Structure 1
Amino acid sequence: MLNKGLPVACLVLMAFLSVVVHSVKADMSYSVPEEMKRGYVVGNIGKDLGLNMKELSSRKARINAEGNRKRFCNINLTTGELTLADIMDRESICKEKLSCVVKMELVLENPLELHKITLHVQDTNDNSPVFTKDVVKLEIRESADKGARFRLSEAHDADIGQNAVQSYILENNDHFILAITSTKDGGKNLELVLDKELDREQQQELTLVLTALDGGIPPRSGTVHIHVTVLDANDNAPVFTEEVYRASLPENSALGAVVLKVSATDLDEGINGEVTYEFSRVSSLAKQAFTLDSITGEITVCGPLDYEEDSVYEMRVEGKDGFGLSTDTKVIIDLKDVNDNTPEIYLQSLISHIPENAAPGTEIGIINVQDRDSESNGQVQCVIGSNVPFKLVPSITNYYSLVTTAELDREVTSDYNITITATDEGTPSLSSYKTMHLMVADVNDNPPAFRQQSYSAHITENNKPGSPVCTVSATDPDWRQNGTVNYALHSSDVDGTPVSSLLSINADTGVIHAVRQFDYEKLKSFKVQVIARDNGSPPLSSNVTVSVLVADENDNTPQILYPAPEGNSLMTEMVPKSVQGNSLVSKVIAVDADSGQNAWLSYHIVKATDPGLFTIGVHSGEIRTQRDISENDGMKQNLIVSVKDNGQPPLSATCTVYLLISDNLAEIPELKDLSHDSGSKLTTYLIIALVSVSTFFITFLIITLAVKFCHRRKPRLLFDGAVAIPSAYLPPNYADVDGTGTLRSVRSAYNYDAYLTTGSRTSDFKFVRSYNDGTLPADSTLRKTSSQDPFGPCDETDSTEVKYLRFLQIV
């Protein structure tokens, strides 16, 4: 039970100390009889300390043995009771000590508290008195006088107090009685007193029975037989030189080392004066450690000595002469402590998995260090290795708290092997080591990181839906679900189209697939955001930009802008008969919606009315004469032109160019066949036009002669420039963004004026005149001076021609 006899001052002091964290709290004292069974309830620590059961459990209450190798008690966290963990034998624990005390500690965590527990082991009468010998042999001379005393060795009882030997009983006999006296050291002196003289002739030997009784209930007893042999007279007993012999020796003394020597003298002579020595009373532990030479009286070491087991040995040595007279003396041997015990490290509590976000100063373990040596040999210093983010903080005596000193990072160091070194202050000092393995628990503190800062993906148009585009990859150094990465596309639009309708991504592998077929002519490139998110709590994420470039395929055939495709109109170009070789007479213009080499066009004449008359530029599409036009060449010339791109495989388109070789519009038979669908008003206009033409016929002849004259002087005068197409034939939206198409150069290189004859509204014939960018119109050009005009001396004639053409245009 709890010792409640403490003074009031001590109770006040204990109440004050109870509020201090990391300090020793109130001491508790309990008593328990020895030899009680396991589970015996010693007391209720929870009630005595005022702690409820929940608090005992949450604070990890436990019992630690203080300086003992064996833990005799446990604490029941459910009831708070202190129970025996093993049977306690007072004699084994405390040997012959009168007071048997076992000290323990109650350890509580969060905060760390230490309560000293003193357990008094009460003696029970479980040992019987034992004599050192089963038979005591005495040789007494028959001449011994009445009252002669013969010393006997007392019995030894391992119990103490009332349970030790209390009385002796000598069996009834005719010659001896038992005399008992107390000694100074608390022992008893037994003497066999001769009450009636012996007569060797009547009885040479006799046997007596001596019984020792202890004070237990019920009492226990032990007996010894005393064998008396009647001899001649021996009237002097041995006498020791000292009443108490003392010696001290180190506990690590070698076997055979002489501790001390006892000596006794006997005044008798001969065999009556020869003294022999033997232990009259010795403990089992001392008997294992020391031996006595019966002749010399030397006590030597015969077994291992351990200061921690027993530091003082007490024994009695009896000196006996040849005929049984004896005396005894006490021998006390003190052991000196030697630093022969290494410190012992006990891991009381440890958090083996430390969160990496644990704040510096977090307590993760409690260390207890003990050394069974005494004084400075038992003083221990405890340290841990360097280069680790931990340190030991001294707490209570022999206790240390293991705390963190810096922030941990599992991605840098995932575990630690911490070696604790305990060193005592002995000479030489002894050390022990204990290694602990600590794991750093992962916390989701790293977002996924993509292997590239950005990604570029290429996919060819007309792809199959579901085909892979590219793969993104992100890594997360965190562990398990904190490091598991999932991928997703950021929800956004591309030119009004949701990204989800263009691409999809595998959430596990990061493979991006095309959802639909792409068309380079509609979508050349776009960008999407890919999000990588881990599975931590809360999750962390990062994103990366993926640029998707659509590669062109040759999937568009060339489109011919001029001449217009058949069926829309019948375009006919008039070529004067005076045209000479290598003169530009027309041009085929085509574009291709593809890009790059897929839009590189080449032109070829696949069929011609007169194959040797015209040729076409492979890359320009310009139609030129190969020779001068002769009178034998047919008036109507039809050219079938093929326009082919440079793709693989190449695509092509064809058109027909209609050329009319004539110098006089009136020679064209088709002008006479006017459409009857034009109405009466149109007919009137045509009649007026024909009259006008007739009126100026003579002027036209003059102009024609002048033109021929000028052509002879300066060939290719009229067809010196490139023929161009009216802008009405050019689609306003045909333009190549990359500058690789054909239309931009065409539109920038040519401007056109058309000169039509009467009936031009219904006729497909035309006479074209070209000029380059940056020049004046035809009428302005013809007004230039001779130094600027290439026509030279034909300025006046040309002016007349221009006036005539303007008239035709007005008509």
Structure 2
Amino acid sequence: MEQRRRERGRSRGYLAGSVVAVLLWSLASAQLRYSVPEEVTEGTVVGHIAKDLGLDKSTLKDRKYRIVSSGTDPLFRVDQNDGILYVSRKIDREEVCPQSSTCLMNVKTVLENPLEVHYVGVEVLDINDHSPSFPEKTKRLEISENVFPGARFQLKPASDPDSGHFSVQQYKISQNDHFRLEVKDKGDDGKTPILVIKKALDRESAASHSLVLTAVDGGKPPKSGNMNILINVLDINDNAPVFTRDYSAMLDENAPVGTTVIQVNATDLDEGPNGDVVYSFSSSMSQNILNLFDINPSTGEITVTGLIDYEKKDRYEIEVEASDKGFAPLTTEKGVIIKIADMNDNAPEIEVTSFSSSIPEDSRPGTTVALISVNDLDSGLNGKVICSVGEDVPFALSPSIQDKMYSLVTKSALDREKQSHYDITITAKDAGQPPLSSEKTVMNVFILDQNDNAPVILYPLSSNGSAEGVEEIPRNVNAGHLVTKVRAYDVDIGYNGWLLFSLQEVTAHSLFTLDRYTGQIRTLRSFTETDEAEHKLLILVKDNGNVSLSATATVLVRLVEPKEAFAASDVKSSSRADEDNNVTFYLMITLASVSALFLISIIVLIAMQCSKSTDYTSKYLQETNYDGTLCHSIQYRSGDKRYMLVGPRMSIGSTIVPGSQANTLVLPDKRRTSEEVR
């Protein structure tokens, strides 16, 4: 009914909004009640008091209406002639009725002549002319990231001056993954919004959240108000440091102390002390590595603190720890690979792994003398080694199929008589820049004598190549007379140079004898008148080599009368004495030299045998015919002298061991000639 009245009022032009007129009768006076929306314009008709009281125009003649009670700034006025109630100014319901849900304005009107008092109640109807508003534009919250889902945070409600349905009816929150909204209805006290965590917070994923809380009233269309909610997520130490990448570095060996190797870096998503990172080496690191490297705890810079030697270790794996400064620190480990670059700081090393201290002079080119091992602790070109020997020796290095192994071999024919031993210097040079080199000398490589020289007889050579000489003796010599001595020498040594003399041909076997060791020709008996005046003796001189070599000499013995022989003998004896002295001198020098060389060789061999270990001796070559005894001697006599041949002992069925420095020594003998052994 009220709505219908409003519609009729609007159709008549009395009210701009809805108007309700209620006529209450009493014995004393009548009371009217109207309603008018707030915010209507000035002059809007509130109601027709006279008409609603049933008074017509004839009744109102000479009667006037007036409002008795009103404020200094009246909200209403009445037409004194026709009794129509108007709005005198714009009404703000929230201003005139700030705390009331119903805004009823009482207006006392008076109709004069006769006097009538009419009470008019005007209800100012609320319209949705205000939006909800929050007490603050932005709300800041601090919530720890370890708060569990379901935690609740009550917010201040929004206010709306409008009343009833036009007040705040609901709250909404902007779309997000971590929060939801609950609304608590407090009845007359309105509704209160509550922020609830629906998903665990992670400061490292989102350090803050921005939400919009919206309050909506019940108007159509509704009005709303917003408040920004800024949530700062408080950090807890829930993140360990994380290294940004894998780490590897190349470091030159011998790098100076203090050289920076590499710098590691780890980040921690936490903040404050929880995100401050310190670096250290793992406690599992060996002391050897700790002596070589150090790490700056603040910067993560790894530096050199010791001597870096590629040959000791060419690669290091260092465990680095990154820890935060939280109350309960979190730690992460990371392996750092450090590869050492080789520098050319090692000279080649030469080792003689097998060595034959003596070699036959008839060895073919390519005969192995020693095995050489060469090693360089460096790598790459720094460890690539080239070996060589001097050009002035008849030896060369031949690479082996085994890496870094060489054979020291003969490269040309050897001749002991030209040079009996060699000191061979081996040079090894690497290919580094600059190159490093070393030398090793293989001492006393002795050339073993071979029977490659025939004896030489000290007489003029005849046209057929044999030596031939003539000595004249008197006929009256006795038995045992020294006719002459065949002199010969052999540049070979030992058995190869030990000469034996034999009488091959003679015109009279009963007249002469030849000492096989000394070459002395003596008479066997006295000459007779029937003996021929000239005798021819063919002397064979041969050595004692495996395959002996020989030479021949022809001696013509002429028998002359004593006077002739005496004159000639003085001249010959003088020249012979000089010749014997010279030959003896040279033989003594040769003998002394060869003997000294032999004795030195024996001493060296004994020292080497004594110093060798079981393993070491196995590296060296053994003489195939050597029975382990250093030497033996053979003694014999010839004439007034005793001889001793000194040399290595031979195995059964063998000749002298190749390389023996045997020699014939002449020993003094004071025994009588009758005791001589021939």
Q: Shorter-chain TM-score: what band? A: 0.5 to 0.7
Q: Secondary structure at the match of 2:270?
A: coil
Measured on the aligned residues, the alpha-carbon RMSD in Å equals: 5.6
**Shift of residue 262, structure 1, vs aligned partner:** 7.9
Match status 1:543 vs 2:439:
yes
The CA distance in 2 between the partners of 1:629 and 1:748, in whole Å, is 21
- Whether the aligned pair in 1 keeps the contact of 2:172 and 2:215 (CA below 8 Å) is no
Question: In terms of Rg, which structure is larger?
Answer: 2
Counterpart amino acid of 1:371?
A: D
Quote the residue 1:440 is aligned against: 340
Return the letter of the residue paired with 1:251: E
Q: Residue type matched to 2:339 in 1? A: M
Q: Does 1:393 align with 2:290?
A: no
Task: Map 1:302-341 onto structure 2 (within 5 A).
Answer: 302-313=198-209, 315=211, 335-341=233-239
Are residues 1:426 and 2:348 paired? no
Give 1:452-467 correspondences, 5 Å limit. 452=352, 458-462=358-362
Q: Hey, what's the Cα distance between the residues in 1 that align with 2:257 and 2:672?
A: 96
Q: Deviations over 1:238-270 (max 9, x none)?
A: xxxxxx89784x42445x544457899xxxxxx
2:136 to 162, 174, 185: 185
Distance 2:409 2:514 in 1: 47
Q: Which amino acid aligns with 1:362?
A: T
Q: Which runs of 5+ in 2 are unaligned?
A: 1-34, 40-91, 93-125, 158-163, 186-192, 569-574, 599-633, 643-666
**Quick one: which amino acid aligns to residue 335 of structure 2?**
T
* C-alpha contact (below 8 Å) 2:134/2:227 kept by paired residues: no
Q: CA 1:616–1:278 in structure 2 vs 1: closer, same or farther (change >3 Å)?
A: farther
CA shift, 1:364, in A, is 3.0
CA displacement, residues 96-142 of structure 1 (integer Å, 9 cap, x when unaligned):
xxxxxxxxxxxxxxxxxxxxxxxxxxxxxxxxxxxxxxxxxxxxxxx
| Matched residue type, 1:359 | P
Q: Which amino acid aligns with 1:185?
A: E
Q: TM-score, with normalisation over the residues of structure 2?
A: 0.52
Residues 314 and 514 of structure 1: CA distance in aligned 2, closer, same or farther (over 3 Å): closer
2:265 to 330, 351, 368: 368
Deviation string, structure 1 residues 2-27 (Cα, Å, up to 9, x no partner): xxxxxxxxxxxxxxxxxxxxxxxxxx
Paired position in structure 1 for 2:427: 531
How do 1:742-757 and structure 2 match up within 5 A? none
Q: Which amino acid aligns with 2:450?
A: E
Q: 3-state DSSP class of the match of 2:442? A: strand
SS of residue in 1 equivalent to 2:264: strand
Q: What does the per-residue CA deviation read over 1:196-223, in whole Å, with 9 as the maximum and x for residues that have no partner?
A: xxxxxxxxxxxxxxxxxxxxxxxxxxxx
Cα contact 2:351–2:373 (8 A) shared by 1: yes
Cα distance between partner residues in 1 of 2:461 and 2:536: 14
Shift of 1:310: 3.3
With over 3 angstroms needed to count, the CA separation of the structure-2 counterparts of 1:422 and 1:362, relative to structure 1, is same
Does the CA-based 8 Å contact 1:343-1:370 persist in structure 2? yes
Change (3 A) 1:184 1:789: closer
- Structure 2 SS opposite 1:435: strand
Instruction: Tell me if 1:519 matches 2:419.
Output: no
1:5-404 equivalence runs, <5 A: 179-180=130-131, 183-186=134-137, 248=143, 250-254=144-148, 256-260=149-153, 280-284=172-176, 288-292=177-181, 301-313=197-209, 315=211, 335-346=233-244, 352-385=249-282, 387-388=288-289, 389-393=292-296, 399-404=299-304
Range moving further from structure 2, 559-568 or 520-529: 559-568
How much has 1:515 moved relative to structure 2? 5.5
Shift of 1:434: 1.9
Work out the CA distance in 2 between the residues paired with 1:790 and 1:529. 55
Q: TM-score, normalised by structure 1?
A: 0.45
Alpha-carbon distance between aligned partners in 1 of 2:244 and 2:173, rounded to the nearest angstrom: 40
**Deviation by residue 1:504-560 (Cα, 9 ceiling, x = unmatched):** 557997655655433221222233433322222222222222344332221111223
Give the Cα–Cα distance (whole angstroms) in 1 for the partners of residues 484 and 209 of structure 2.
137
Instruction: Provide the C-alpha distance between the structure 2 equivalents of 1:280 and 1:465, rounded to a whole number of angstroms.
Output: 108
1:341 Cα offset (Å):
0.9
Deviations 1:474-506 (A, max 9, x none): 32212222222223445xxxxxxxx44755557
1:383 deviates by 1.1
Is the Cα–Cα contact under 8 Å of residues 454 and 546 in structure 1 kept in the other structure?
no
Matches within 5 A, 1:475-494: 475-489=375-389
Instruction: Give the Cα–Cα distance (whole angstroms) in 1 for the partners of residues 196 and 248 of structure 2.
Output: 52
Instruction: Supply the AA of the counterpart residue of 1:521.
Output: E
CA distance in 2, matches of 1:413, 1:390: 14
Q: Unaligned 5+ residue runs, structure 1?
A: 1-143, 150-174, 188-243, 265-271, 491-498, 673-684, 690-723, 751-771, 776-787, 792-811
Distance 1:354 1:282 in 2: 57
Q: Identify if the C-alpha distance between structure 1 residues 252 and 607 changes in structure 2 by more than 3 Å, giving closer, same or farther.
A: farther
Q: Per-residue deviation at 1:340?
A: 1.3
Matched, 1:738 2:636: no
Given the superposition, is the C-alpha separation of residues 246 and 278 from structure 1 closer, same or farther in structure 2, using an over 3 Å criterion? farther
Q: Is 1:594–2:492 an aligned residue pair?
A: yes
What secondary structure does 1:481 align onto?
helix
**Following the alignment from structure 1 to structure 2, what is the Cα–Cα distance between the partners of residues 442 and 400?**
26
Q: Is the 8 A contact 2:495 2:544 kept in 1?
A: yes
Could you tell me how far apart the structure 2 residues matched to 1:245 and 1:666 are? 158
CA change 1:295–1:652 in 2 (3 A) is farther
C-alpha distance in structure 2 between counterparts of 1:790 and 1:642, whole Å: 26
Q: CA deviation at 1:435?
A: 1.6
Letter in 1 for 2:433: S
Say yes or no: does 1:728 pair with 2:631: no
Contact 1:563/1:589 (8 A) holds in 2: no
Distance in 2 (CA, whole Å) between partners of 1:145 and 1:521 is 152
Change (3 A) 1:145 1:357: farther
> Aligned partner of 1:549: which letter?
F
Q: Does the Cα contact within 8 Å between 1:608 and 1:639 map onto a contact in 2? A: yes
Equivalent pair of 1:378/1:426 in contact (CA under 8 Å): yes
Q: Does 1:650 align with 2:548?
A: yes
Contact 2:460–2:469, Cα closer than 8 Å, also in 1: no
Query: What amino acid does structure 2 have at the position aligned with 1:186?
Result: K
Change (3 A) 1:515 1:184: same
What is the aligned partner in structure 2 of residue 555 from structure 1? 452
Secondary structure at the aligned position of 2:309 is classed as coil
Task: Determine if the alignment matches structure 1 residue 414 to structure 2 residue 314.
Answer: yes
Q: CA deviation at 1:593?
A: 0.7
Tell me the number of residue pairs that the alignment of Structure 1 and Structure 2 aligns.
453
Q: Share of identical aligned residues, percent?
A: 26
Q: State the alpha-carbon separation in 1 of the partners of residues 202 and 640 from structure 2.
A: 115
Give distance in 2, aligned partners of 1:528 and 1:181.
111
For 1:594 and 1:616, the matched residues in 2 are separated by 23
| In structure 2, distance between residues paired with 1:504 and 1:178 | 117
CA deviation digits over 1:154-193, x for unaligned, max 9? xxxxxxxxxxxxxxxxxxxxx9866446544327xxxxxx
Q: In 2 relative to 1, CA 446–773 (structure 1 residues): closer, same or farther, beyond 3 Å? A: closer
Change (3 A) 1:550 1:185: same
